[in-house]
Amino acid sequence: MIRLEHINKNYVSGTKTVVALDDINLQIQAGEVFGIIGRSGAGKSTLIRMLNLLERPSSGRVWLQDQDISTLAEPQLRQVRQKIGMVFQHFNLLQMRTVLDNVCFPLRLAGLTRAQQKARALEVLELVGLQDHVHKYPRQLSGGQQQRVGIARALANHPQLLLCDEATSALDPETTQSILRLLAQINQDLGLTIVLITHSMDVIRRICDRVAVIDAGKLVEQGEVLDVFLHP
């Protein structure tokens, strides 16, 4: 589904160069839940942003379904990104917009008519269990409900790949479990490939098929969760 080949990413600030990613090679299969775990500063956010090219690698290639997307110009990339949903730690919802309008937003960017936007938005809002809250504003919802809006928005364009950037890190343990159950259900029912980054071993154990461990910009281990984390 997606393949990273010899990815390097350096950040230059002033006279200092930070090596955020150091020769990353990674292959993610269609239909799996793939976890990337590491400490703060290890390079997780940089790595997940390589997958939709929110950041460009300093060198190396990113293949999405046998297409090298690392060389695409911005307009083509925008089209590719419509097939990749993203969920954020702090939800990133528009506070002045209703739940429905938040989910319509990417659909409007994709050029759907208002009627098409609404129909699609209601469909994904029902999928995440928010059909009774569509006219509320984000501040009227709990953290878990807000993240469900974030997930619905990410699913609105019917993506093939869902990227989750610390999607449960701002949530309490119980809410975390319900969001993880929702992601697992989406993976099963829609066959959607999910890549998530987390600093939590528990998140990895609960929903991931395979995992990669990143430390100081290097992948230090990857494989089946049971092999990498034998005996909890």
DSSP annotation of 131 reads T
Q: Looking at beta carbons only, is 117 or 160 nearer to ligand ADP?
A: 117
Q: Is 85 in the site for ligand ADP (CB under 6 A)?
A: no
Q: Is 43 in the site for ligand ADP (CB under 6 A)?
A: yes
Task: Find the shortest distance in angstroms from Cβ 144 to ligand ADP.
Answer: 23
Q: Which residue has the tokens 């590719």?
A: 80
Print the binding letters for residues 45-84 with ligand ADP: x by CB under 6 A, - otherwise.
Answer: xx--------------------------------------
Note the residue count of the chain: 232
Q: Looking at beta carbons only, is 47 or 127 nearer to ligand ADP?
A: 47
Q: Are 39 and 216 in contact (CB under 8 A)?
A: no
Residue 52's nearest CA partner among 88, 87, 19, 85 is: 85
Binding residues for ligand ADP restricted to 189-218, rule: CB under 6 A: none
Q: Looking at beta carbons only, is 38 or 57 nearer to ligand ADP?
A: 38
Residue 121's nearest CA partner among 99, 96, 148, 103 is: 103
How many residues touch ligand ADP under the rule CB under 6 A: the total is: 15
Q: Is 220 in the site for ligand ADP (CB under 6 A)?
A: no
Residue 51's nearest CA partner among 107, 1, 106 is: 1
Q: Which residues pair with 212 in a beta bridge?
A: 36, 222
Using DSSP, state whether 91 is helix, strand or coil: coil
Name the residues that contact ligand ADP, by CB under 6 A. Answer: 11, 13, 18, 20, 38, 40-46, 94, 96-97
